[in-house]
Amino acid sequence: MTYRALLTLAILISLALPACSSTNEQADAEPPHAEPETTAIPKIELLIGHENDVNSVAFSPDGSRALSGSNDNTIKLWDLRTGECLRTFPGDSGDVRTVVFAPDGSHALSGHEYSRIKLWDIETGECVRTFTGHKGTTRSVAFSPDGRHALSGGDNSVGPNDCTLNLWDVTTRARLWTIDTSNALVTSVAVNPDGTRALSGGADYALTLWDLQTGKRLRVIPSKSSWVQSVAFSPQGQHALSGNADGKVRLWDLRTGKCVRTFTTDERRGYFIDNQVYSVAFSPDAFRVLSGHQDGTVKLWDVRSGECIETYTGHEGKVYSVAFSPDGTHALSGGEDHTLRLWDIPTK
């Protein structure tokens, strides 16, 4: 072989080596059989088991399970990893209007059509305590952050007039205070993150801020021109959400009582009942808001811009309850079609 031919061969070999090296590095970085990433909760889209409207849904504190309360007089406990119904808590007090987990996840409270509030042991399914004092429907309940107290709101939809707000000692069942809201049914209650304040909303077209320890009324915030169907504190406790019968979600500054943002895709004004907002929830990072609507949709909103990020469809009827998972990656909804639905929520 001539010198020129040998030189040409050497150049070709040297040019080929970097390409082989690059290919090997790429193969090492991306193994051909690498396992795909998985989330904590697989996508279980539909939970079926109730025989009537689902009025209330709640995530467990660790996000692995959920509770639902229904007009079929039952409460169900769900495994969100498999979609399996783990337990059905028997009901003997009419429709279950509201359910909520205790902060430690060991117990749950339920509010019922015929006045009662019940405390359940999650692991055994036993009713360990019954609170009596409401005369009508117990529409909404909330735990204090330490789990020692419970706040409840009543209405007059069934039975005698009972438009009251009540604070209970969970251990002794004692009613610590009760407030008559002047014939205005209480549709929703909430307790702030540090356990010092309570919020209620209802048929008086207002949000009311209360001192949780004393029951003193601290501020009344008129909510424009319609019933307040749902209220929620922000994770920091300085703001609140209201879901209204006029189809709008509103963000309130509790220090000033001012509405700082309105979330809506419907610019009509006045009291419109064709797409009421039945439920609202803050994300754990306070940057997003969920709302459940009369038209069967669940909407995700950006708090800073006020824009609707996503509209989730699938329910075949009104959406009565929505909730964020503790990590903010999923949402749960329940409604008139007897089902619960689990949704993936974008994190960015």
Residues 104-113, mean pLDDT to the nearest whole number: 94
Residues 6+ apart with CB under 8 A from 302: 287, 288, 308, 309
- In terms of residues, how long is the chain? 348
- For the chain, how many helices (H) and strands (E)? 1, 28
Q: Do the domain assignments include residue 7?
A: no
**Neighbouring C-alpha atoms within 13 Å toward the C-beta of 226:** 22
What pLDDT, on the 0 to 100 scale, is given for residue 61? Answer: 98
Mean per-residue pLDDT over the chain, rounded: 85
Residue pLDDT, tens place only, 173-194 = 999 999 988 768 899 999 999 9
**How many structural domains is the chain composed of?**
1
Q: Do the domain assignments include residue 32?
A: no
Higher pLDDT pick, 159 / 204: 204
Q: Do the domain assignments include residue 185?
A: yes
Q: Do the domain assignments include residue 34?
A: no
pLDDT at 36 over 60: no
CB-count exposure of residue 267 (10 Å: 0-12, 13-18, 19+): exposed
- What percent of the chain shows pLDDT beyond 70? 82
Contact criterion met (CB below 8 Å) for 183 and 189: no
pLDDT at 29 over 90: no
Q: Do the domain assignments include residue 1?
A: no
Q: Do the domain assignments include residue 111?
A: yes
Q: Do the domain assignments include residue 11?
A: no
- Torsion region of 22: left, alpha or beta (phi above 0 gives left; psi -120 to 50 gives alpha): alpha
What pLDDT, on the 0 to 100 scale, is given for residue 269? Answer: 55
CB-count exposure of residue 144 (10 Å: 0-12, 13-18, 19+): buried
Indicate which CATH number applies to the domain containing 160: 2.130.10.10
Q: Do the domain assignments include residue 152?
A: yes
Q: Which residues form the domain of 291?
A: 46-344
Element of type H or E holding 287: none
Residue pLDDT, tens place only, 267-313 = 655 555 578 999 999 999 999 999 999 999 999 999 999 999 999 99
Residue pLDDT, tens place only, 134-174 = 777 888 999 999 999 999 998 765 555 678 899 999 999 99
Q: Rounded to two decimals, what is the model's pTM? A: 0.85
